[in-house]
Structure 1
Amino acid sequence: MTHEVVGRIEESGPELAALADENESLGKLSDRTVELLRSAGVIRLLQPKEFGGFSAHPRDFAEAVMAVARHDGAAGWVCGVVGVHPWELAQMDPRLAHEVWDEDPDTWIASPYMPNGIADPVDGGFVLSGRWPFSSGSDHCSWDFLGALVGDGKGRPAGPIQVMHVVLPRSDYEIIDGTWDVVGLSGTGSKDVVVDKAFVPEYRTIRQEQVQAGAAAEELGLTDSLYKLPFASMFPLGITAAVIGICEGALAHHLSQQKDRVAVTGIQVRDDPYVLYAAGEAAAEIAASRVQLIDGISRMYDQIEAGRPVTIEDRATVRRNQVRCAWRAVSALDEIFARSGGNAIRKGNPIQRYWRDAHVGLSHMIHVPGTAYHAYPLSQMGLDLPESMRAVI
């Protein structure tokens, strides 16, 4: 059954698509695009019900992100990234959730999670400094999730390495304009943010290991299976869903444009078996990517619902498939782009934007296949994974 949010996205789909070029030109989402996304409720899908959200099944979240990305890749990407943050916030001290959502349940939180800052311990919390690139949607967010290393009190990482996620209000960080000049996903506005000696109360922090395997949910006594899912399964979900949705959008435009296209030989493309074969194969590959991504997170959710623990083998399998889904879908997009004709490269043709957006999305670190593919056979052999590898599985 389709979630109501997906239905609202489809209703506003034509307008979202019409705004895509403006978003790319602005280098961030337009106010109208954000208004449509807020009205649909995409970012509230994984937000707890008690704070105005839906506490939805992760499948519904993935399908909503794909639906947005089919119309505008940048908007879908922001939904996939920003939309997972309410899920993590639900696992933190409830005081923070009240600060963020009591006045406005539609408050958005940006991120980047890479530990580019040092959080020095002080009485009651930490003092944080650093600079983080790739803060998607930051212009429309009032808070930011940032990755940080626990410091030694002198601005240097303490040993052994400890990674935290910290949450700061907009007043405690600076968004640096001019730092998002890119070839694809331009409309995401993934700018740099800078923090200079901001105090972060301890209740606005969480250790990465706590959310890595659902330990934070257990510590808080959360009963909803949604919040017991592993971070390295949930965080990639929205990003890969956006990439698949982008590929679905490109395929739809390709088929629409080929219907009446005449090749240089004078043959109508709809009578060219080679182009049609490629389109059919690409459609099957993109559909397989969608099904496998949703199946993986759904099986993990069902496992938690049934009271069975999620093992490192389970996590490695989901990550392996999630990475493969993205590469399979983009490879299929490459096949249809190559057969879309010379007009596909014109800036006024949405296909070239989908193609650029998909490749930039594929370059995200969660789509790098090396670690995910390496971890899977090790876990299936019952061998220990290095700590650096476990952190992303």
Structure 2
Amino acid sequence: MSEPRMSEPRMSEPRRSPERERLLAAVERVRGVATAHAEASERQRTLAPAVVDALRSSGLFAIAAPRALGGAECDPLTQMEIFEAMAHADTSAGWSLMISALLAAMVGGTLPDEGAREVFAGPFPTFAGLQVPCGVARRVAGGYALEGRWAFGSGVRHARWVFTSAIAAPEGGAPPAGPPEMLSLAVPREQVVIEDTWDVAGLRGTGSEHYRIEGAFVPEARTCPFPAAPQRRGGALYSLPFVALMAAGHVGFALGVARRALDEIAAVAPRRVKVWPQLALGSHAAFHMDLGRAEAKLAAARAYAFDALGRMWDRARAGEALSIDDWSAIRLVQTYVTEVAAEVAGFAYRAGGGSALYAESPLQRCFRDMHAATQHISATDDAYEFAGRARLGIAALHPMLAPRPSPAPAGREP
């Protein structure tokens, strides 16, 4: 397989993290381990322990967390490149890194000081958890009793903490006067029951199991409002609302998988002989044209991603709230880049012919895993509908897009 061909975007340096080169070099150190254990992760239906260990020792799990808690606090553009590079190396490693790193950003930016100190004590922690309020949190002395069942706990088997969300049960049993209060809660992995449910077609190596929590006590300090928790520490990154904070992850993953698919088919084409004309795929003019189109589509999607996320980041650094047009771009770029990446991976898989069916072929894994990613809530078709309404001036913000309240004073860095 050739080295990844990821062109350097043209942008002003102040946007970029000084940690960028070091962290991209860390991805390259992990690459060989992730590639060597890709099939093992698939068979085990969770990331192979050797890959988890390599990611831990690399420091990559800390890329998005606040510096005050041992993180690198990378900007969204740098994050996107790191997730892209890791997904190019191995889809399961890329997805697992993305989930844990971005949950670390959420936890680190929003938990009260006491809870943050507990969660981030010791070696840098790994995280899993679904941010959909499938559970119920009942108020008890000093905190909450949490119970519920959640799906898609990517990386839960190697996580140290599960950061999940729930509806706060009304005190006294009275129905709430308005929308229910929702919370995010950090729970030690030992208090979580993992169900063996992750038998799926794509992203098999991510261990995205269902999990249950059966009445675990969660102290107040390990909770925060959901989805619009106030920022408690760190810089402009943690002022971004939940969906915006997550955007770099899904986009970077999709770009990395599609680039790997194109690199793989380019390597296969000279030696793959098509049966009917008895000519190598790489000598077919039709394949040349399709490959050129795929390269153009992927490069355009990548440039769009840097533009949309860059404008979002500029707004955050300037202390400006995201407008409806900004939200339209943030949602559009995630759905559009995912669609383009799935199309590109599909082209590469089909061009690979019968040999692409075999488990050892990265082409089938790129195809399956990229199409699995199209099912994620970050990449739904209603992003286009929202953009259309925004263009007509009739869009309204969903609660998941609501701005964060004014920053809480404790621990906030300038």
TM-score by structure 1 length?
Answer: 0.91
Matched, 1:242 2:253: yes
Question: In the aligned structure 2, how far is the partner of 1:323 from the partner of 1:381?
Answer: 20
Counterpart in the other structure of 2:118: 99
- Using a 3 Å threshold, how does the CA distance of structure 1 residues 260 and 130 change in structure 2: closer, same or farther? same
1:39 Cα offset (Å)? 2.3
Deviation at 1:349, TM superposition (A): 1.2
Distance 2:210 2:22 in 1: 34
- Would you say 1:274 and 2:249 are equivalent positions? no
Q: Who is 1:24 aligned against?
A: 42
Instruction: Name the aligned partner's letter for residue 318 of structure 2.
Output: A
Which residue of structure 2 lines up, in the alignment, with residue 262 of structure 1?
273
Give CA deviations for 1:28-75 in whole Å, capped at 9, x if unaligned. 111110111122222101111122211111111111111111111111
* Partner SS for 1:112: coil
- Aligned with residue 182 of structure 2, among 158, 163, 166: 163
Contact 2:66 2:234 in 1 (8 A): no
Tell me which of 102, 110, 117 is aligned to 1:84.
Answer: 102
Pick closer, same or farther for the CA change 1:157–1:66 going to 2, 3 Å: farther
Taking structure 1 as reference, are residues 266 and 57 closer, same or farther at Cα in structure 2, changes over 3 Å only?
same
1:344 lines up with 2:377 in the alignment? no
Sequence identity percentage: 29
CA distance in structure 1 between the partners assigned to 2:125 and 2:83 by the alignment: 18
Alpha-carbon distance in 2 for matches of 1:62, 1:389: 21
| Superposed counterparts of 1:201-220, under 5 Å | 201-211=219-229, 216-217=230-231, 220=232
The 2-side partners of 1:316 and 1:157 are apart by 34
* Residue of structure 2 in register with 1:333 after alignment: 345
1:357 and 2:369 are equivalent in the alignment:
yes
Q: Shift of the alpha carbon at 1:306? A: 2.4
The counterpart of 1:66, out of the listed 71, 84, 99, is: 84
Label 1:109 to 1:181 Cα distance change in 2 as closer, same or farther (>3 A).
same
Conservation of the 8 A alpha-carbon contact between 2:250 and 2:334: no
User: Where does residue 324 of structure 2 map in the other structure?
Assistant: 312
What is the CA deviation profile of residues 103-145 of structure 1, one whole-angstrom value per residue up to 9, with x for unaligned ones? 12x2111111111101122333222110111100011111111
140 and 369 in structure 1: CA distance in 2 versus 1, 3 angstrom threshold = same
Q: What residue ranges of structure 1 are gaps of 5+ in the alignment?
A: none
- 2:200 is aligned with 1:182: yes
What's the offset of the Cα at 1:161? 2.4
Work out whether 1:146 is the aligned partner of 2:164.
yes
Q: Decide whether aligned partners of structure 1 residues 26 and 196 sit closer, same or farther in structure 2, where only a CA change above 3 A counts.
A: same
Q: Contact 1:111–1:145 (CA<8 Å) still a contact in 2?
A: yes
SS of aligned partner of 1:3: helix
Alignment equivalent of 2:75, drawn from 34, 57, 69: 57
What is aligned with 2:386?
375
Which secondary structure does the structure 1 equivalent of 2:330 belong to?
helix
Q: Matches of 2:282 and 2:332 in 1, distance apart?
A: 37
C-alpha distance 271-5 of structure 1, shift in aligned 2 (>3 A): same
Alpha-carbon spacing, 1:198–1:160, altered in 2? closer, same or farther (3 Å): same
Q: Distance in 2 between matches of 1:384 and 1:260?
A: 52
Q: How does 1:117-156 map to 2 (within 5 A)?
A: 117-153=135-171
Q: Shift of the alpha carbon at 1:26?
A: 0.8
Measure, in 1, the Cα distance between the counterparts of 2:395 and 2:260: 41
- Give, in angstroms, the shift of residue 360 of structure 1: 0.6
SS of equivalent to 2:210: strand
Question: Per the alignment, do residues 272 and 366 of structure 1 end up closer, same or farther by CA in structure 2, a change over 3 Å counting?
Answer: same
Please say if residues 120 and 155 of structure 1, whose CA atoms lie closer than 8 Å, have aligned partners that are also in contact.
Answer: no
SS of 1:210's equivalent? coil
* TM-score, structure 2 normalization: 0.87
Among residues 198, 215, 219, which one is paired with 2:216 in the alignment? Answer: 198
Shift of 1:292: 2.0
1:325-361 deviations in Å (ceiling 9; x for gaps): 1111111221222212221112221111111111111
- 3-state DSSP class of the match of 2:130? coil
Q: Distance in 2 between the 1:72 and 1:223 partners?
A: 30
Q: Distance in 2 between matches of 1:19 and 1:168?
A: 29
Aligned letter for 2:363?
A: I
1:154 deviates by 7.8
Could you tell me how far 1:288 is from its partner in structure 2? 2.3
Residue by residue over 1:142-174, the C-alpha shift from the partner in whole angstroms, topping out at 9 and shown as x without a partner, is 111112111135899845223221111123221
CA distance 1:156–1:18, shift in 2 (3 Å): farther
Q: 1:296 aligns with which of 291, 308, 311?
A: 308
Count of residues in Structure 1 that have an aligned counterpart in Structure 2: 383
Is the 1:108–1:142 contact (alpha carbons within 8 Å) kept by the matching residues of 2? yes
Q: Which segment drifts farther, 136-145 or 153-162?
A: 153-162
Give structure 2 stretches of 5+ with no counterpart. 1-15, 404-414
SS of the equivalent of 1:331 reads helix
Q: Secondary structure at the match of 2:279?
A: coil
Write the distance in 1 (CA, Å) between the matches of 2:388 and 2:180. 27
1:12 corresponds to which of 30, 42, 53: 30
- Structure 1 distance, partners of 2:174, 2:80, is 38
Q: By how many angstroms is 1:184 displaced? A: 1.0
- Cα deviation for residue 189 of structure 1 reads 0.5
